[in-house]
Chains A and B, each alone.
Chain A
Amino acid sequence: MTELLQALILGLLIGGVYALMASGLSLIFGVMNIINVAQGAFLILVAMFTWWLWKSTGVDPILASVVTTPLMFGFGWVLYRTVISRIRGSSTSMSVLLTFGLALTIEGALNVTAGNKFRSATPSYFEESYHLGSISLPKPQVYGFVAAVLVLSALYVVLAHTWAGRAIRASAQNPSGAALVGVGATSTAALAFALGTSTAGVGGSVLSVLYPFFPASHYDWISRLLGIIVLGGMGSLPGALAGALVLGLAETLTATYWSLRWSTLVFYLVILVVLLFRPQGIFGTRLREDVVA
């Protein structure tokens, strides 16, 4: 019983962090139909930066997200304006190839500058836990989860209650309509892309404490995150949340009751089974172009 409870709680904590990381990906897809394969590389980039900041100044890595988030927002904005916007109007597959190229570029650049070795930030509390009866809650996981919940809530508030957020949602649902009411497509897209990458700011900082990483780790992360949004329904934020929790639970439960070796595979199998019965994912509506012919 304790074992189950422990697994469930750990799954929930990890799922929260996954949700944070997947939300940006989902947002970018929802607004622009761009599958940002570079999101994983962004996470690693931020994790590396956070590690360096922590190593050289001693700043708490999770708190460092206060710096990395606006930085990533700016990075996303500039990247969109200078690179991504060039393929506006091309097919989604071009965006996949482009962001794939960016991901490799970031990996390669990290390889050259930071070297190909595992790192992880280890602040003083990284090996401490809170205890609830016989259940232990590792502090870094708890802090990461809290950061994730804060950012997801902030994202929700931005999207639901600001003009910019409504503009983004309008663009996601009806681009031509949004254009009619004066929502500039390019600046909205840049805004959405920047928001999406800024979640990698928090995500990457949290990652630097929770998981050892090295430049090529991004493949691992991007396939998990993409799996999450396929499972949840592409472009759906609640879907990303649900998919992330499923992944977190699938991982911890498989690891507890079967073998850690199969946990990732179990997750992919869950995806295939879901797609078999619900091709659009758990929360997905059928894609726009599927409906309107």
Chain B
Amino acid sequence: MMLLRRVPRGHAAAGLVFVLLAIYPVFYPYATYYQTVLLQAFLLSLQAVSWNIVSGYAGYVSLGHSAYLGLGSYTTAILALHWGVNPLLVAPLGGVTAVVIALALGVIVLRTRGHAFVIITIALLLAMQIVATNWRSLTKGSDGITLELPTWSRDIQNVPFYYAFLLLLALTVLFSAWIRRTKFGAGLVAIREDEGKASAIGVNTTRYKVLAYVASTFFIGVAGGVYAYFLTFLNPVGAFSILASVMIVLAALAGGRGTLYGPAVGGFIVSIGGEVATVHGGSSSRVLIFGVALTLVVLFMPSGLLPTVEGWWRRRHAETTEYTDQAGALAAGAVTAPGRAAAPALAQALLEPTGVESAEPVLLDVRKVSKRFGGLVAVDGADLTVRRGSITALIGPNGSGKTTLFNLVTGAMRADSGEVWLDGRRIDTMAPWQRGHLGLARTFQTTRLFKSMTVQQNLVAPLPDSGWRRMLASAVSGSEADRARELLDFVGLGRFAHRPAGSLSYGQQKLVELAQVLMLEPRIVLLDEPAGGVNPSLVGRLGDIVRDLNRQGVTFLVVEHNIPMVLELCDPVVVFSRGSSIAEGPPDRIREDPLVLDAYLGDEWRPPGAEVAAGPDAVTGTSVEVTPGRSAAGPPAERGSS
């Protein structure tokens, strides 16, 4: 409900600006200069808002975004000349060209994580310049293309352009706002926050990123077409100018990267500020000013003007807060209990009917899987079966390869050899999100929530199937949001829905992460040390929730060092040592198995971090990191129990 109330408020302010800007030329039709200044501000704003979709929401910075303005300009100019039509009529085709190029480039560059993208975007601009300069038969090369002057009366001059850009700006903002409200938008922010985690909760990160990149170019391409007509001339150097890209980046950053209106506000500030500087003669060092401004913004106002001012406003007008006492809030949550009342309904909503209560068929089957890191064999021909409906435990000393096995099963890593089957389907060549869509979910040893997103946003980000409909469904209202609320209530944290996930206690975060993966409608959940580092009072609660879910048909595979919890909760128990399982059976038998004792206490048992303590040479030899963060951040609970 809060979300619903919030959106009209924000839009109301923006709508007011839009109306004022829309009626301005009616009252001052001959203020050509001011109209020109404003329409250039609209142009920069709409570029910054578009840029924000890929670089703000998804966090993939493009330093050459003005290339799409140039592409749109060229497309429109060439087609208008060729067909002999008014450029405004073919301007949308400029957007189409932009989309096609962005799609091709995105598919190549955005398949992996990492930084090829930003680099290619710089190269893109220069490459476009080269193409436009040298493909003479199409672009007239460096001579450039000239268009006819506008056909309308001289008296109204730029008014049509003014409205065209204003309309495009409004559409771009609405488009960006719509994306922000969908699960797609939540997924983009998730990618920015933690891409590996996003792919583990069913987010097809490649599709998301490519789509975001493509979405960020369409309106710029259309605007490019209009702009070509406005200038009546375009040439490679002007159309693919680096400074234009710099202004986009600066505008979005100054206004507030990742926010909806920040980039638009930034566009006005940078564009009008630049014009004021020109008029008042201070422009002899324009590049220097932009450079210093960009540097200062990154260093001192990295979140941008709008968020900074909002924060300041809120501090000055602070309301008394309703939740100040975490312990109290926690207790309130605990009393609501593991959602027993909600559970039956939930079970129906969540789960495919398995109908099988006994642990007969094999759900997850790991066959002879191996993974090597340099010289170290982390997982060595491991076999593991998890039966449907079971809560299977996987225990073993640190470094025995449990987490690596999780990574292989969920697709965070590829195995060197061996196969992984889920419910009769081979999944080891699938992307992590495909496995998620088949009902495979996991939590992480150290929770990996999207800390700056709210708890609610964390819950709507997961995607249980690969359908476009679900991906573009609303994230703030409707069935997805309702499900998120149900699940939060189920884990007892419904009242924290609108708090940033990072502000919750560690144990609460573990519960939220569990609720998050439940959004995937999982058939099997891999829990990586669910009790590690968690307040003991929450451990029991966690066990209750797991049992509850299991009763509803969810299968679990649990890595845990809290042996009492394991023995109480799980059956069967699998013991892992040196990369493969050495024993399997019911908890009682495992407790007495000499092999297990040996595995825990034998010579291969090393304290955490032992492998890195040998000196610099040992470190530089090969890159060894089987369980990330283990050496630095082992929760005390795990050490005590082992």
Partners in one complex: yes
Interface residues, chain A, with chain B CB atoms under 8 Å away: 29, 35, 37, 83, 86-87, 90-94, 96-98, 100-109, 111-112, 163, 166-167, 169-170, 173-174, 176-181, 183, 215-216, 219-220, 222-223, 226-227, 229-230, 234, 259, 261-262, 264-265, 268, 271-272, 275-276, 279-281, 286-293
Whether A234 contacts B115 in the complex (CB less than 8 A), given A100-B63, A177-B619, A181-B615, comes out as yes
Asked if residues B617 and A166 are in contact (CB atoms below 8 Å), the reply is: yes
Asked if residues A104 and B113 are in contact (CB atoms below 8 Å), the reply is: no
Asked if residues A109 and B126 are in contact (CB atoms below 8 Å), the reply is: no
B294 within 8 A of A: yes
Asked if residues B119 and A230 are in contact (CB atoms below 8 Å), the reply is: yes
Q: How far is the CA of A276 from the CA of B120 in the complex (A)?
A: 13
Residues 112-141 of B, flagged 1 when their CB comes within 8 A of A and 0 if not, give 111110111011001100110110000000
* Contact of A105 (CB < 8 Å), options: B199, B288, B624, B629: B288
Asked if residues A101 and B123 are in contact (CB atoms below 8 Å), the reply is: no
Question: In B364-417, which residues have CB < 8 Å from any A CB?
Answer: 407, 410, 412-413
* Chain B residues in 8 Å Cβ range of A287: 112-114
A106, A181, A287, A292 interface centre (most CB from chain B within 10 Å): A292
Asked if residues B113 and A226 are in contact (CB atoms below 8 Å), the reply is: no
Distance (whole angstroms) from the CB of B284 to the closest CB of chain A: 7
Q: Nearest chain-A residue to B609 (Cβ)?
A: A180
Q: How far is the CA of A105 from the CA of B290 in the complex (A)?
A: 7
Asked if residues B113 and A105 are in contact (CB atoms below 8 Å), the reply is: no
B144 within 8 A of A: no
* Chain B residues in 8 Å Cβ range of A216: 287
Tell which of B54-62, B226-234, B262-270, B506-514 binds the partner: B54-62
B295 within 8 A of A: yes
Asked if residues B612 and A35 are in contact (CB atoms below 8 Å), the reply is: no
Distance (whole angstroms) from the CB of B270 to the closest CB of chain A: 13
Majority SS of interface residues in chain B? helix
* Chain A residues in 8 Å Cβ range of B195: 289
* Chain B residues in 8 Å Cβ range of A97: 61, 249, 253, 294, 298
Asked if residues B612 and A180 are in contact (CB atoms below 8 Å), the reply is: yes
Q: How far is the CA of A101 from the CA of B287 in the complex (A)?
A: 10
B109 within 8 A of A: yes
Whether A174 contacts B292 in the complex (CB less than 8 A), given A226-B119, A293-B413, comes out as no
Q: Nearest chain-A residue to B111 (Cβ)?
A: A279
5 interchain residue pairs of minimum CB distance: A108-B288, A104-B291, A293-B412, A101-B294, A105-B291
Distance (whole angstroms) from the CB of B414 to the closest CB of chain A: 9
* Contact of A93 (CB < 8 Å), options: B55, B111, B299: B55
Given contacts A268-B126, A280-B112, 8 further A-B contacts (CB under 8 A): A105-B292, A108-B290, A173-B623, A223-B119, A275-B120, A286-B112, A293-B196, A293-B200
Asked if residues B612 and A174 are in contact (CB atoms below 8 Å), the reply is: yes
Asked if residues B616 and A166 are in contact (CB atoms below 8 Å), the reply is: yes
* Chain A residues in 8 Å Cβ range of B296: 101
* Chain A residues in 8 Å Cβ range of B127: 264-265, 268
* Chain A residues in 8 Å Cβ range of B276: none
Asked if residues A230 and B116 are in contact (CB atoms below 8 Å), the reply is: yes
* Contact of B294 (CB < 8 Å), options: A86, A100, A227: A100
Whether A108 contacts B616 in the complex (CB less than 8 A), given A87-B298, A92-B115, A291-B413, comes out as no
Q: How far is the CA of A272 from the CA of B284 in the complex (A)?
A: 38
Asked if residues B302 and A275 are in contact (CB atoms below 8 Å), the reply is: no
* Contact of A35 (CB < 8 Å), options: B119, B609, B615, B628: B119
Asked if residues B613 and A111 are in contact (CB atoms below 8 Å), the reply is: no
Asked if residues B118 and A35 are in contact (CB atoms below 8 Å), the reply is: yes
B285 within 8 A of A: yes
Asked if residues B61 and A275 are in contact (CB atoms below 8 Å), the reply is: no
B149 within 8 A of A: no
* Contact of A226 (CB < 8 Å), options: B122, B133, B286, B290: B122
* Chain A residues in 8 Å Cβ range of B114: 234, 280, 287, 289-290
Asked if residues A181 and B112 are in contact (CB atoms below 8 Å), the reply is: no
* Chain A residues in 8 Å Cβ range of B122: 37, 219, 222-223, 226
Q: How far is the CA of A170 from the CA of B615 in the complex (A)?
A: 10
B345 within 8 A of A: no
Asked if residues A262 and B130 are in contact (CB atoms below 8 Å), the reply is: yes
Residues 231-253 of B, flagged 1 when their CB comes within 8 A of A and 0 if not, give 00000000000100010010001
Asked if residues A100 and B249 are in contact (CB atoms below 8 Å), the reply is: yes
Asked if residues A108 and B298 are in contact (CB atoms below 8 Å), the reply is: no
Whether A98 contacts B288 in the complex (CB less than 8 A), given A166-B617, A174-B625, A180-B631, comes out as no
Whether A262 contacts B134 in the complex (CB less than 8 A), given A166-B616, A176-B632, comes out as yes
* Contact of A104 (CB < 8 Å), options: B109, B290, B407: B290
Asked if residues A219 and B242 are in contact (CB atoms below 8 Å), the reply is: yes
B108 within 8 A of A: yes
Whether A181 contacts B619 in the complex (CB less than 8 A), given A90-B302, A226-B122, A227-B119, comes out as yes
A167, A215, A230, A264 interface centre (most CB from chain B within 10 Å): A230
Asked if residues A220 and B118 are in contact (CB atoms below 8 Å), the reply is: no
B326 within 8 A of A: no
Asked if residues B613 and A180 are in contact (CB atoms below 8 Å), the reply is: yes
* Chain B residues in 8 Å Cβ range of A181: 612-613, 615-616, 619
Asked if residues A98 and B291 are in contact (CB atoms below 8 Å), the reply is: no
Q: Nearest chain-A residue to B192 (Cβ)?
A: A91
* Chain B residues in 8 Å Cβ range of A288: 625
Distance (whole angstroms) from the CB of A117 to the closest CB of chain B: 15
Asked if residues B133 and A261 are in contact (CB atoms below 8 Å), the reply is: yes
B289 within 8 A of A: yes
Q: How far is the CA of A234 from the CA of B113 in the complex (A)?
A: 12
Q: How far is the CA of A215 from the CA of B297 in the complex (A)?
A: 23
B358 within 8 A of A: no
* Contact of A108 (CB < 8 Å), options: B286, B407, B617: B286
* Chain A residues in 8 Å Cβ range of B288: 104-105, 107-109, 111-112
Q: Nearest chain-A residue to B197 (Cβ)?
A: A293
Q: How far is the CA of A279 from the CA of B412 in the complex (A)?
A: 17
Whether A101 contacts B119 in the complex (CB less than 8 A), given A180-B612, A181-B619, A219-B242, comes out as no
Q: How far is the CA of A177 from the CA of B627 in the complex (A)?
A: 12
B620 within 8 A of A: yes
Q: Nearest chain-A residue to B631 (Cβ)?
A: A176
Asked if residues A261 and B130 are in contact (CB atoms below 8 Å), the reply is: yes
Q: How far is the CA of A166 from the CA of B120 in the complex (A)?
A: 31
Whether A293 contacts B407 in the complex (CB less than 8 A), given A177-B619, A262-B130, comes out as yes
* Chain B residues in 8 Å Cβ range of A107: 287-288, 291
Whether A104 contacts B632 in the complex (CB less than 8 A), given A98-B295, A279-B112, A292-B625, comes out as no
* Chain A residues in 8 Å Cβ range of B246: 100, 104
Distance (whole angstroms) from the CB of A73 to the closest CB of chain B: 22
Q: How far is the CA of A96 from the CA of B120 in the complex (A)?
A: 13
* Chain B residues in 8 Å Cβ range of A179: 632
* Chain A residues in 8 Å Cβ range of B432: 293
* Chain B residues in 8 Å Cβ range of A169: 620
* Chain B residues in 8 Å Cβ range of A94: 298, 302
Asked if residues A87 and B299 are in contact (CB atoms below 8 Å), the reply is: yes
B118, B130, B298, B625 interface centre (most CB from chain A within 10 Å): B298
Could you name 20 residue pairs across A and B whose Cβ atoms are closer than 8 Å? A37-B63, A87-B302, A91-B59, A91-B192, A101-B292, A101-B293, A105-B288, A108-B291, A174-B625, A176-B629, A178-B619, A180-B631, A234-B115, A259-B134, A264-B126, A272-B108, A275-B109, A289-B195, A293-B200, A293-B412
